[in-house]
Structure 1
Amino acid sequence: MQTMKRWDVDVVVAEESEGESAHTWAEVGLIADDGTALRGHGMARKHPYDFDAPEIGEELAVSRALSDLSRQLRQVAAEDINDNTGNPWRPT
């Protein structure tokens, strides 16, 4: 038996510039079929002496937001494993 589910991840990126410096924020959201909703956040800073390449800040901020989301999803899975088996999950 094969089943398929689709989980959509929404990505929002915002940048704020002031003079030669900039901050980029990213938020990623996941809503699973079972209603589980998680939001990951990430941020990147442009140093005033860095060259102007906004896509680098976006990539860093989004990757950090996805990493945060991944950490949260692992925690949810660990709690589900513990709830269903009575044994705490031990990452390998």
Structure 2
Amino acid sequence: MHTMKRWNVDILLSEEAEGDSARTWAEVGLESHDGAGLRGHGMARKHPTDDDVPEIGDELAVSRALADLSRQLRQAAAEDISEHTGTPWPR
């Protein structure tokens, strides 16, 4: 039997600049087929002496948000494994 599933990740970016500094926030969301969801968050900061390249802040903030989401997904899997086997899964 072959099963295919699609999981969609939604990414929201927000930027705030003040003078020579800037911050970018990212939120990534993953919703499962049963309606449960996880949200990861990340932030990047531009140093006042850095060149103004907003794409770099986007990339860093999104990568950090995805890493946060990944950690949460691993935690959910570990809890599911423990629940179904009665044995804690080493994280």
- TM-score tier by shorter-chain length is over 0.9
Identity over aligned pairs, percent: 71
TM-score of the superposed pair, with normalisation by structure 2: 0.97
Provide runs of 4+ in structure 1 moved above 2 Å: none
CA distance in 1, matches of 2:32, 2:10: 12
CA distance in 1, matches of 2:4, 2:80: 20
Structure 1 partner of 2:78: 78
Deviation of 1:90 after TM superposition, in Å, equals 1.4
Aligned residues: 91
Q: Is the 8 A contact 1:10 1:30 kept in 2?
A: yes
Q: Is the 8 A contact 1:43 1:65 kept in 2?
A: yes
Structure 1 partner of 2:37: 37
**Which residues of structure 1 form unaligned runs of 5+?**
none
RMSD across aligned positions (CA): 0.7
